[in-house]
Chain A
Amino acid sequence: MGKNGIRVSIFLLLISGFAWGQAKVLHSPPRNVFMNSPIKIEALIEESIVQVERVRAFYREAGQNAFIEEEMAEYMGVYTCNIPAEYVTEEGVEYLIMAELSDGSMAAFPEVDPYNVPMFLAVKQSSDVRQQTVRERSDIQGGIRSDIIILSPEEGEVVAAEEVVLAFSLFNTPDVSLETIQLDLDGISVLNQTEISEDMIISRPKNLSSGMHTAKLNMKNQYGDPYSTIIVNFTVVKTIAESQRIFKYTGRVTAEANSEQVRGIRQNINSLRANASGSYDWLKFNAKTFISSQEEPDKQPRNRLTAGFKTSIFDLTMGDVNPRFSEFALRGKRVRGVDANLKLKYFNTHIVYGKTMRAIQGTISDEPDSVAGGFQYDRSGYTYSQNLLAIRPYFGSGQNFQFGLSVLKAIDDTLSVKKEYGGIQEASDVSIAMEGSKKPQDNIVLGTDLAIAFDSKRFVWKSDAAISLLNRDISNGPLTLDDLDTFLPGDSLRDSTLSLGDMNISLEGFPDPGDFARFFIINENIKPLMPIVPDTNNAIGMKEFLNMPSTAFKTTLKLNYFNNFFVVRYQRVGPEFSSLGNPYLRSDIQGFNISDKIRLFSNKLSVTLAYDQKRDNLSQDKNATTTTTSFNAGLALYPGGGLPTINFNTMHYGRENDLGLDDIDTTFNYDPDSVLLSTVYKDLRESNSTIRQDFRISHIVEVADIKNTINITYANSDRGDRITARVPGYQFNETSTSMLAFGINSNFSFPLKTNIKFSTNTTKSTLVENPYELFTMMLRGTYDFFDGKLVSELGYNLTNGSGMIDFTKNNVYTGGMYRFLEMHQLRWRLRYSLLNDRLSGDTFNDLSFMVNYTLLF
């Protein structure tokens, strides 16, 4: 499904509030979300009736208008994606998951009105503490595990020759027999250069050559039992400066073969993923590759290739990039090309150039249609390749001030899709029609942004403004001067004068629109045709200027004082504003948003309150103006000290238009004798509300050396019609859902980990007779062998659905992971699924497997 498809899907969800699919998205929101840390989203799709085509997550910073789309990767039935760290801000994160099914239906999480009432996650401040104490590495000979701390060097550390110290602390291992200590460096004893005391073993080897060295420490306890050998590898360089300049890199290559069978239909997907990054002194570089067997030339690319480097003043990335300029110009759109950012603090420039869509040739009809003067073939299913150039010079580092100007130009390559296709040529009696809605487009967006911050960014004010022009069909090229004479609305007089309201512009000496074609193609398909609309008196004033249909404006004020993080935001996106660099931006919307996050008791309690109001129909050219309001209140309690963490969130979403009883459209149908046959009412009044609550509690309980994390989640939502007096036959999809989940994750004192989870999910709709009830049980255990080098896994899932669908699915799987030779990792999983579909009477035995090899370097 292309981008338009996505928009249509979202729109359908938006207007219906709920897309009734034959599947469910099973998802537990993550409990601990930290600021500036990516969030892993996982979901299971219960798809016992139809197959899943694709699953995507849509996410955004709370309060933003547009969602970012991310395709979720599937791994043995579990769909995952990461919300990047830059979207995880103190304002919180909103997201939804959408699954497209093979029969065209959809399933989403949250189930009710996901686009308007997405899942909200409160974000905690980061509290990761670097674990300093490093346990020893034991050699393969075994021995008693000791609590010796390797003080120096670190494993793999690069040390200048003059700073090499081998130091081991015996503080936590008091029963060492000191006379049994053996310290070897590269196989040679260095005991004669070693100081041994009850606390420490220290050696300062001299004249070490550059290169890799290995220190080994062996010793016994007071009873003569040997401890495990402690091994440390480190690298010596000549000077301190050299130790900081060494070339470092890291990476991983993963190859995966996945063979999945669902309801007897097998799908094989193979992929290769490689990431590498490194640094040398001031230079950092990275490269990423994803090659999938799902890559097909007649679809948009699935493969990803990216390589780039960063310095303190210049960043360059080539390949697939997702640049962020501003919300109005370029955000969330994949560009295959070049992303360069020059950062000179006071003067900076960000440039993105590349292709956003690949040309797809589509098909041509097998049989021509008869038309006047011959035959006509239809071309369909094609997509033009699209090129994008975006430039943003900006001034100031953003620390206290930043002012930017941006220009975005995106244009479809009209020559990238050939009209003559499949050997069929146009002739005098043969024509080829380009069918479908995918006309080649041209788009230009001019924008500006300003950010002012002071008081250590406790006060931040940001504003963005932009104006766009979109030509929805450039296949016929630009206008000529003759065309321009009668180009504007209301100007039908061919008088070599361009008339706009009270203004008349002579076309004598007027530039030919074709001369501007390299910047923007001007013809009758421009939206808006008039960037500014005169009033009824054909006059243009301040009101008309502010209400320009293709402008967008947004201003945000953030105040972080007295443990309150207060945000107020106003935005207006005109109905004709359009940026091909951000296809997910909602247009024809105006409104404000106020939120406050209050931190109390040393951040142990946070309360979030948010109110949002928006309306559409800014040009007053629709039948009705719809206003949406949402109120969100959340409470997150992280008391620490062994007490449970609790999250509670409630959201009320309302949607109402300004139509009244008088606006009900009534059609009377009469027979030829004027006898009333039927009356058809069309009630477009809208006033409905969705209320959702979710409550999550997580607690760690230790019982007999078993660390158990107990998770309980309860969520419900109700969508109802607030208009009681409806016309006969009116159907509103009143929906209610509830979900209760209980899980225990246990860590035993021996290397066994278990996960147990039960959940029930009930959905009721007035359009469906029986509620859809789903019960799932998940049991999983992992056991580590050889110090975690081999991890085995065994699991069982039971899913029972009743109501609109009626099935039972038993799922047994086994798998494991084996790490060998430090750099290699092998994972595998085998899954057997028995599905009893009581609705169709079919039974399916599905066997799936996956093998994954990873090389770490």
Chain B
Amino acid sequence: MKKLHLLIVIIFLLILSTQAWSADKIALTLKARGDTRLKRADDEKFKSNIKPGTSLFNEDHLKTGKDGYAVLVFLDDKSQIKIRENSEMVIAGTRTTEAISKRISMQFGTLKAEVSPQRKGEFIIATPTSVASVKGTVFWFISDPVMGDQIFGESGTVSLTNNESGAVVVVGANETGTSTPDGQVNVEVTEEGAAPVDEEDEDDAETSNLLRIQFQDPQGNIKDIKIEYK
């Protein structure tokens, strides 16, 4: 009987832990290149060699080195974060049945956020200097604990709040918002060439097809010409 009780308790705990584990899964890495490291919430050390397709859980800690690059996607709405080199952040998300409230706590670095319109939850990027609240937009975010933060809006709007002064600015498309450790905030038209460049020059949203043409030379060698078209 005791064994039976123990078995029931173990099974119950197992189910519970599985539920908890599952409920915290919030995102997935789609790309991980170069020096890209991950530390789980309950781990003490970063682990390198992250593979594309790695699940991300609440409070996972991501870090990229000088040649690092990572792309992660959230499960509820396909919002994407592209993390450039020399960046470090904690990915947090609170799940409800309808959405994931996302919070990126970035210590420093550069990321590009392509945020789908948030249905129920919120999307926040917090740095030592500021907090950016996002509803649905595409923008670059550069954070430096000493120099402050910069947001380069590509579309939509981002509300940027300075932690020191509480001052808020709204950064729109083609605008650059700045927030400095001394409490200053500002918005100005983005200078040409000032925004970072996406490492992937690919137009993800468009469809494409591949046309393969095979050639055979007189020696019988076969070569392919591949033409991708949209």
**Is B66 engaged at the interface, CB distance under 8 Å to the other chain?**
no
B28 touches A158 (CB 8 A): no
> Roughly how many angstroms separate A455 CA and B194 CA in the complex, as a whole number?
13
- In the complex, per-residue mask of B45-60: 1 if CB is within 8 Å of any chain A CB, else 0: 0000001110100000
A250 touches B229 (CB 8 A): yes
Chain B at the A interface: SS class: loop
In chain A between 146 and 196, which residues have their CB closer than 8 angstroms to a CB of chain B?
Answer: 149, 151-152, 154-158, 162-165, 167, 169, 171-172, 174
> Roughly how many angstroms separate A129 CA and B176 CA in the complex, as a whole number?
17
Q: How many Å from the CB of B2 to the closest CB on chain A?
A: 33
Chain B residues with Cβ under 8 A from A172's Cβ? 76
A458 touches B202 (CB 8 A): no
> Roughly how many angstroms separate A244 CA and B33 CA in the complex, as a whole number?
14
B78 touches A130 (CB 8 A): no
Partner of B137, one of A129, A156, A203: A129
> Roughly how many angstroms separate A144 CA and B25 CA in the complex, as a whole number?
26
**Is B80 engaged at the interface, CB distance under 8 Å to the other chain?**
yes
Q: How many Å from the CB of B159 to the closest CB on chain A?
A: 9
Given contacts A132-B79, A240-B33, contact A602 B210 (CB under 8 A): no
> Roughly how many angstroms separate A452 CA and B206 CA in the complex, as a whole number?
39
> Roughly how many angstroms separate A230 CA and B212 CA in the complex, as a whole number?
24
A133 touches B156 (CB 8 A): no
Q: How many Å from the CB of B167 to the closest CB on chain A?
A: 14
Residue of A nearest to B30 (CB): A152
**Is A267 engaged at the interface, CB distance under 8 Å to the other chain?**
no
> Roughly how many angstroms separate A149 CA and B191 CA in the complex, as a whole number?
36
Residue among B31, B100, B175 with most chain A CB within 10 A: B31
B157 touches A127 (CB 8 A): yes
A130 touches B28 (CB 8 A): no
**Is B142 engaged at the interface, CB distance under 8 Å to the other chain?**
no
Given contacts A211-B212, A211-B226, A457-B191, contact A204 B53 (CB under 8 A): yes
A158 touches B138 (CB 8 A): no
In chain B between 187 and 220, which residues have their CB closer than 8 angstroms to a CB of chain A?
Answer: 188-194, 200-210, 212
Chain B residues with Cβ under 8 A from A165's Cβ? 28, 30, 52-53
Q: How many Å from the CB of A821 to the closest CB on chain B?
A: 12
> Roughly how many angstroms separate A399 CA and B229 CA in the complex, as a whole number?
35
Partner of A248, one of B33, B51, B173, B208: B208
> Roughly how many angstroms separate A480 CA and B117 CA in the complex, as a whole number?
75
Given contacts A132-B80, A250-B206, contact A244 B28 (CB under 8 A): no
**Is B172 engaged at the interface, CB distance under 8 Å to the other chain?**
yes
> Roughly how many angstroms separate A172 CA and B119 CA in the complex, as a whole number?
12
Chain A residues with Cβ under 8 A from B137's Cβ? 129
Residue of B nearest to A242 (CB): B226
Query: Number of residue pairs across A and B with beta carbons under 8 Å?
Result: 171
Residue of A nearest to B209 (CB): A156
Contact-size category for B: 35 or more
A133 touches B209 (CB 8 A): no
Chain A residues with Cβ under 8 A from B203's Cβ? 248
Q: How many Å from the CB of A819 to the closest CB on chain B?
A: 13
Q: How many Å from the CB of A595 to the closest CB on chain B?
A: 17
Residue of A nearest to B116 (CB): A132
Chain A residues with Cβ under 8 A from B116's Cβ? 129-133
- In the complex, per-residue mask of B158-176: 1 if CB is within 8 Å of any chain A CB, else 0: 0000000000001011111
Residue of B nearest to A169 (CB): B75
Chain A residues with Cβ under 8 A from B205's Cβ? 130, 134, 154
Residue of B nearest to A603 (CB): B172
> Roughly how many angstroms separate A163 CA and B54 CA in the complex, as a whole number?
11
Residue of B nearest to A250 (CB): B230
A199 touches B156 (CB 8 A): no
Given contacts A158-B208, A163-B52, A204-B53, contact A132 B77 (CB under 8 A): yes
Q: How many Å from the CB of A282 to the closest CB on chain B?
A: 10
**Is B114 engaged at the interface, CB distance under 8 Å to the other chain?**
yes
A200 touches B28 (CB 8 A): yes
Chain B residues with Cβ under 8 A from A197's Cβ? 22, 25
Chain A residues with Cβ under 8 A from B202's Cβ? 157-158, 243-244
A244 touches B200 (CB 8 A): yes
User: Can you list 9 A-B pairs, Cβ within 8 angstroms, ordered by A?
Assistant: A129-B116, A149-B78, A164-B52, A169-B78, A202-B55, A235-B226, A458-B189, A602-B170, A857-B230
Q: A129-B156, A130-B155 are in contact. List 5 more A-B contacts (CB 8 A).
A: A134-B205, A149-B76, A198-B22, A200-B25, A200-B55
> B residues bordering A, Cβ < 8 Å?
22, 25, 28, 30-31, 33, 51-53, 55, 73, 75-80, 97, 100, 114-117, 136-138, 155-157, 170, 172-176, 188-194, 200-210, 212, 226-230
Shortest 6 CB-CB distances between A and B: which pairs?
A: A156-B208, A132-B116, A250-B230, A165-B53, A156-B207, A126-B173
